[in-house]
Amino acid sequence: MHIHVSAACGTFMGGIARLAAAMGHEVTGSDAGVYPPMSDQLRDAGISLMEGFSADNLRPRPDLVIIGNALSRGNPEVEAVLEQGIPYTSGPQWLGEQVLQDRWVLAVAGTHGKTTTSSLLAWVLEDNGLSPGFLIGGVPGNFGESARLGETPFFVVEADEYDTAFFDKRSKFVHYRPRTAVLNNLEFDHADIFPDLEAIKTQFHHLVRTVPGNGLLVVNGDDANLAQTLTRGCWTPQERFSADGCSDADWRCDAQDPDYGRRFDCVTPDGKRLTVDWPMGGRHSVSNALAVIAAARHVGVPVENSIDSLSRFRGIKRRMEVIARAGGVTVYDDFAHHPTAIETTLRGLRASVGEEKIIAVLEMRSNTMRMGYHREKVLKALKVADLAIIYAPKDSHAESLSSYLNAPEFAGIELQASVDAILTRLSPAMTAGSHVVIMSNGAFEGIHARVAGLL
């Protein structure tokens, strides 16, 4: 079958294209931006790529077009599909129907932490001989690819609550029908599609409704929004985890400083105390580890084995990835998109580096932050840093933060209107012992290489 993937160079849709090619289909793809590393991954898989969206991309006529959720009516490729009557579907629906049927699906959902937790879970299963398939919204260091079919019934999927496609406004994760579901956290996000937090809770409850009675929900016991969502009805056994050491959680962290997170005791449901010593840091990483240990046990991986595997986890590209070190300065790339993730990441770094200088450089690129939500939360999250620079080009929402910065509590946070201005500000600030965290879920005008070049 000839399958064409529209918007093929995003991490999710690129993974869909790779899975289709691995199943033996002839796959072509198109996107507005065709560039490495995803373009290299796709071409290595034998997938022909076309730059831009056009009716010409559909010649010869494909048997099926998989349309990414970034595309909407008015896109010339979408219009051509509809006018020519070419069969089409969404990425999540194709994945659910063609790949996940008859698989033991382990889905990881949450406002943040999905990519890291999915990567951890896939690695733990791999390291214990279970050879899972996976589709992850990032590139785990232990695999070097974002998707593969796998060799066993197990399949790990990052379960996103964003909408499915222009013709299907349900959350992506309702298509996956997991047997093991991790619910990491639930906060307001995606203001472009959800009117309020209650709407997101409804979508999460739709996911809960799809998990069978002989499955398992692994739930963050520290999250009140998840607890409220589950009061709407739950038909599946639950195991709760707590990085805060909540006494009635099934899986608990016992650590003097969970913000450090690199070494802590995992207390199991039967009261065993086992030490986790691994390369990740921060309270959020502790939560991720507990969730993975619980989910892996559900498919038969002993707790001790999971803990051993965690010690060999190599991280994920763009999740506190060290991209440069020179002159005593370390530069990190972090895929920040929500104030809670920003704060927990910076707190984890602070616990690790002590009094050394932390400089955060933030591009408020997510739809929710660009629409004006989370303004004060973002500023409070950045207070953890010694110096925080927010990219605020003219006529952007970030400019409106200037009125808040007069408050003494936000001293050390400033706005800069261009990448050049940010670099000028950074140059004298990056003294020996500094840690510079560049936080954006986009390319940020190539600032990462330019900051590294300053060193």
**pLDDT on residue 397:** 66
Query: Is 338 a residue whose pLDDT tops 80?
Result: no
**Cα distance between residue 416 and residue 401, in whole Å:** 11
Nearest to 317 by CA among 124, 115, 75: 115
List C-alpha distances in Å: 415 to 25, 179, 334, 390.
49, 46, 19, 5
Please tell me if the domain spanning 2-90 has the same topology as the one spanning 321-454: no
Contact assessment for residue 208 and residue 233, using Cβ atoms and an 8 Å cutoff? yes
Q: First-to-last CA distance in the chain?
A: 50
Instruction: Let me know the angle formed at the C-alpha of 454 by 333 and 437, rounded to the nearest 5 degrees.
Output: 25
157-198 pLDDT tens trace: 999 998 999 999 999 999 999 999 999 999 877 667 788 899
pLDDT at 303 over 80: yes
Give the model confidence (pLDDT) of 339-385 as tens digits.
888 888 898 889 889 999 999 999 987 655 555 556 778 888 898 99
Amino acid at 162: Y
* The pair of three-digit structure tokens given for residue 247, joined into one six-digit string: 């006494």
- Does residue 403 register a pLDDT over 70? no
Domain range summary for the chain, segments of one domain joined by +: 2-90, 100-310, 321-454
H helices of 85-170, in order, are 91-98, 114-127
- For the chain, state the CA radius of gyration: 22
β-pair partners for 119: none
pLDDT score, position 190: 66
pLDDT digits (tens, 9 = 90+) for 204-245: 999 999 999 999 999 999 999 999 999 999 999 999 999 987
**Given a cut of 80, is residue 435 above it in pLDDT?**
yes
Which residues lie across from 321 on neighbouring strands?
Answer: 333
- Give the separation between CA 108 and CA 116, rounded to whole angstroms: 10
CA 18 to chain centre: 19
pLDDT number for residue 407: 73
Give the helix ranges, DSSP H, for 197-324.
Answer: 197-209, 224-230, 283-298, 303-310
Give me the pLDDT at residue 294, please: 98
Extract the runs of DSSP E, i.e. beta strands, from 227-353: 238-242, 251-254, 263-267, 273-277, 321-326, 329-334
Q: Does the 2-90 domain belong in CATH 3.40.50.720? A: yes
The packing angle between helices 114-127 and 303-310, to 10°, is: 110
**CA–CA gap between residue 11 and residue 140 (Å, rounded):** 12
Note the pTM of the prediction, 2 decimals.
0.86
DSSP 56: G
The pLDDT-based confidence of 138 (bands split at 50, 70, 90) is confident
Cα–Cα dist 262/357, whole Å: 20
* CA 341/CA 60 separation, integer angstroms: 45
* Contact (CB, 8 A) for 312 and 279: no
Tens-digit pLDDT profile for residues 1-36? 999 999 999 889 999 999 999 999 999 999 997 766
Q: Which two tokens stand for residue 60?
A: 């010869």
Residue 52 has pLDDT above 80, yes or no: yes
Q: Which of 316, 322, 334 is nearest to 145 (CA)?
A: 316
What's the CA gap between 65 and 391, in Å, rounded?
Answer: 38
Does the domain spanning 321-454 belong to CATH 3.90.190.20? yes
Average pLDDT, the chain: 91
Cα distance between residue 7 and residue 443, in whole Å: 17
Fold of 100-310: UDP-N-acetylmuramoyl-L-alanine:D-glutamate ligase (3.40.1190)
Sole residue written with tokens 């990462």: 448
